[in-house]
Chains A and B, each alone.
Chain A
């Protein structure tokens, strides 16, 4: 089975420019995650989608970051304008199931894409 696809793999921009990342999850996976991984740290969740709805965006800097998953399949993450501290690897992950009938997640492993390494100069 094909894995999580991300593009581009690398991006270099200057501060105050805009950038967008794309993610295509594993087919049939309802839940999609965007993580930010700063060098020397573990991944931090930015936003989580269940189909095309946002489940958690509590750690997304909404003044500059935005994300969408319009048809409940692939997703884009945008930064506008970028800051130096946005330099990081942006990881996309997906998992099979999300909200169950009683609104509790039954756990399924998250599968990660290769990431996009962003350098802001």
Chain B
């Protein structure tokens, strides 16, 4: 079964420092991987995706993610964190199982806290 794990409930980082939010996945075949961000009382916003090609994917708001097939990981990164990046981040994988309907399977989320 396809699954995605976010091993950290919360990540704390000082403003201006680099940040990493971790994600590992388990899928059969080639994965389609995504990152979404959720601000309080708002819906999820798409950040970036990996479908194929370059292992380093660039997305919105200066975020990027590195696909590592050997480690089955897709960590979210940003070179310099902003206080406004504080939010809940979700990693997701497209379900390639029976029916192949394209639905997403989400991790449990990681809260990013950026302190001034």
**Which residues in A have some Cβ–Cβ distance to B below 8 Å?**
4, 6, 31, 33, 40-45, 48, 55-56, 91, 93, 95, 98, 103-105, 107, 109-115
B99 interface residue per 8 A CB criterion: yes
What is the distance, in angstroms, from B103's C-beta to the closest C-beta of chain A? 5
Nearest Cβ on chain B to A60's Cβ, whole angstroms: 12
The binding surface of chain B is classed by DSSP as loop
Q: How far is the CA of A45 from the CA of B94 in the complex (A)?
A: 12
Instruction: Kindly supply a per-residue 1/0 record for chain B positions 92-107, scoring 1 wherever the CB is within 8 Å of any chain A CB and 0 otherwise.
Output: 1010000111111011
A105 and B106 form a contact (CB under 8 A): no
B41 and A114 contacting across the interface, CB-CB below 8 Å: yes
State how many angstroms separate the Cβ of B58 from the closest Cβ of chain A.
Answer: 15
Interface size on B, residues (CB 8 A): 24
A31 CB contacts on chain B under 8 angstroms: 102
Give the A-binding residues of B (Cβ under 8 A).
32, 34, 36, 41-46, 49, 51, 90, 92, 94, 99-104, 106-109
The answer on a CB contact under 8 Å between B108 and A107 is: no
A56 to B44, CA, bound (A): 21
Contacting pair A55 B101 (CB below 8 A)? yes
CB pair B46 A56 closer than 8 Å: no
CB closest residue in chain B, given A114: B43
CB proximity of B30 to chain A, nearest CB, Å: 12
Task: Give me 19 other A-B pairs in contact (C-beta within 8 A), A43-B106, A107-B49, A107-B94 excluded.
Answer: A33-B103, A40-B109, A41-B108, A42-B109, A43-B44, A43-B104, A44-B106, A48-B103, A55-B99, A55-B101, A56-B103, A93-B44, A103-B100, A105-B102, A110-B104, A112-B36, A112-B43, A113-B43, A115-B42
- Report B27 CB to chain A, min CB distance, Å: 14
